[in-house]
Amino acid sequence: MKYEVKKYAKQDYNIWNDFIDQAKNATFLFHRDFMEYHQDRFEDFSLLVYENQKLVAVLPANIKDKELHSHQGLTYGGLVYKAQTKLKSVIEIFQSVLLFLNENKIEKLYLKTLPSIYHIKPADEILYALFLAEATIIRRDSLSVIDLSQENNLSKIRKRGIEKALSNQLEIREEIDFDSFWNTILIPNLEKKHQVKPVHSISEIVYLKAKFPDNIRQFNVYFENQIVAGVTVFETETVVHCQYISKNEDAENLGSLDFLFQYLINEAFAEKRFLDFGISNENQGRKLNQGLSYWKESFDASTIVQDFYSVETANYSKLNEVFV
């Protein structure tokens, strides 16, 4: 085959990151500094694909039990390529990846997709390649998304919450410090409701903020100078994603989150293309938290999906004669 596939090594740090910056279907989560903040938890097996010694695609990934996964420490993943890469080339590149894995005794690839709202340009070529390789959908999550280019129609209950917030003279502040939100709001709420901790520890989110100061932002709401709610956002070129949303349940009648999201939608990120509330799914996408989904929809969010696939690496042969 005309493509050469190689496993990522430390000396590839710069060429990897430069490629991510130029790709049409990548975000800062694919930068090596983000991927490696939790490198002790995953055995990295990311791939680089070359054509005539020129890098043409990368695949953020880790290996587990002799199976390759779209990096399990990331929300999304997939094969990453540039805007000028044609559909035929993506199919051939994907076939080269499957062949490389098969030759290295890795029998299965689990691929999570990058939701379309994160594409700089349309980038569903890999979905067609997966279809040709007879990949199987093993999970589908629903994301609640607001199209910020259109007029936003809040529900009556959200509007009443904003009125409460104004009457309570709430204050919104963007801050570089995460301590008050993590320790006063987020950690206690997650522990009380779900008996879990945030995916990112306070030290990890501080580290990531230092690495990506323009992409990770914290907005807090205060009542009489006491924090009552907050949102941590991950900002990409097209999307502002709400990574963490939480409020003081004892102060729930203040309208804090209604007030905060009204500000994010109409002021802070009014020029952004989409606001992504994230998923409302459980059990690998097979259960829907209807209350959470309804709450997001009350801000005028609607649904897009993120698919997860499995494909046998031996299926590289199914891509042999697809061109006419």
Confidence at residue 193, expressed as pLDDT on a 0 to 100 scale: 82
Cβ proximity of 242 and 276 under 8 Å: yes
All residues at 6 or more sequence positions from 73 whose CB lies less than 8 Å from its CB, including other chains = 35, 38, 41, 42, 62
Between CA 254 and CA 100 the distance in angstroms is 57
| Helical residues (DSSP H) of the chain, grouped into ranges | 13-22, 32-35, 87-103, 125-132, 156-167, 179-180, 187-194, 202-211, 256-263, 290-297
To which residue do tokens 């905060």 refer? 260
pTM for the model: 0.95
Tell me the Cα Rg of the chain.
21
Residue 137's H or E segment, with its range, is strand 136-147
Residue showing tokens 């801050």: 175
Q: What is the pLDDT of residues 193-245, one digit of tens each?
A: 888 999 999 999 999 999 999 999 999 999 999 999 999 999 999 999 999 99
* Residue 144 CB partners (closer than 8 Å, separation 6+): 276, 277, 278, 279, 280, 293, 296, 297, 301, 302, 303
Q: Find out if CATH 3.10.129.10 is the number for domain 3-140+306-319.
A: no
Positions in the chain whose pLDDT score sits under 70: 1, 251-252
Residue 134 Cα to chain centre, angstroms = 25
How far is it, in rounded angstroms, from Cα 7 to Cα 100?
Answer: 10
From the CB of residue 139, how many other CB atoms can be counted at a distance below 10 Å? 16
C-alpha of 20 from chain center: 15
* Domain ranges in the chain with CATH number 3.40.630.30: 3-140+306-319, 150-272
For residue 238, the SS3 value is: coil
Say which CATH class 150-272 falls into.
Answer: alpha beta
State the residue for tokens 């802070």. 268
Which residue type sits at 62?
Answer: N
What is the Cα–Cα distance from 64 to 26, expressed in whole angstroms?
Answer: 23
What pLDDT score does 74 carry? 97
The pLDDT, as a whole number, for residue 200 is: 95
* Distance, CA of 102 to CA of 225 (rounded, Å): 59
pLDDT at residue number 251: 64
